[in-house]
Protein backbone atom coordinates (compact mmCIF):
# COMPACT_ATOMS: atom_id res chain seq x y z
CA UNK A 1 0.00 0.00 0.00
CA UNK A 2 1.32 3.44 -0.96
CA UNK A 3 -0.59 6.57 0.09
CA UNK A 4 -3.73 4.47 0.67
CA UNK A 5 -3.66 2.76 -2.75
CA UNK A 6 -2.75 -0.89 -3.36
CA UNK A 7 -0.16 -1.87 -5.96
CA UNK A 8 1.37 -5.18 -7.04
CA UNK A 9 4.94 -5.28 -8.30
CA UNK A 10 6.07 -8.00 -10.70
CA UNK A 11 9.46 -9.76 -10.37
CA UNK A 12 11.04 -7.06 -12.57
CA UNK A 13 10.00 -4.42 -10.02
CA UNK A 14 7.35 -2.80 -12.21
CA UNK A 15 3.81 -2.13 -10.99
CA UNK A 16 1.25 -4.37 -12.68
CA UNK A 17 -1.32 -2.75 -14.97
CA UNK A 18 -4.44 -4.25 -16.51
CA UNK A 19 -5.67 -7.66 -15.31
CA UNK A 20 -3.44 -9.85 -13.13
CA UNK A 21 -4.09 -13.17 -11.39
CA UNK A 22 -2.53 -13.09 -7.92
CA UNK A 23 -2.91 -16.00 -5.53
CA UNK A 24 -5.68 -17.48 -7.67
CA UNK A 25 -7.75 -14.27 -7.64
CA UNK A 26 -8.21 -11.82 -10.52
CA UNK A 27 -7.41 -8.15 -9.92
CA UNK A 28 -7.45 -5.09 -12.18
CA UNK A 29 -4.88 -2.32 -11.99
CA UNK A 30 -5.21 1.14 -13.55
CA UNK A 31 -2.57 2.40 -16.01
CA UNK A 32 -0.77 4.11 -13.11
CA UNK A 33 -0.59 0.77 -11.26
CA UNK A 34 -3.26 1.47 -8.61
CA UNK A 35 -5.61 -1.44 -7.89
CA UNK A 36 -9.11 -0.44 -8.97
CA UNK A 37 -10.91 -3.82 -8.82
CA UNK A 38 -10.15 -6.81 -6.70
Instruction: Dump pLDDT digits (tens) for 1-38.
Output: 888 899 999 899 999 999 999 999 999 999 999 999 76
* Cα distance from N-terminal residue to C-terminal residue, the chain: 14
Predicted pLDDT of residue 38: 61
CATH 3.40.640.10 fits 1-38, yes or no: no
Backbone angles phi, psi at 19, to 5 degrees: -85, 140
3-state secondary structure at position 15: strand
Q: Report the 10 Å Cβ neighbour count for 8.
A: 15
Q: Would you say 29 and 12 are in contact if contact means Cβ atoms under 8 Å apart?
A: no
Predicted pLDDT of residue 1: 87
pTM of the model: 0.78
Instruction: Break the chain into its structural domains and give their ranges.
Output: 1-38
Backbone angles phi, psi at 20, to 5 degrees: -145, 135
Predicted pLDDT of residue 35: 96
Amino acid sequence: KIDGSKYWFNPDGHAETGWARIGGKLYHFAPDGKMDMG
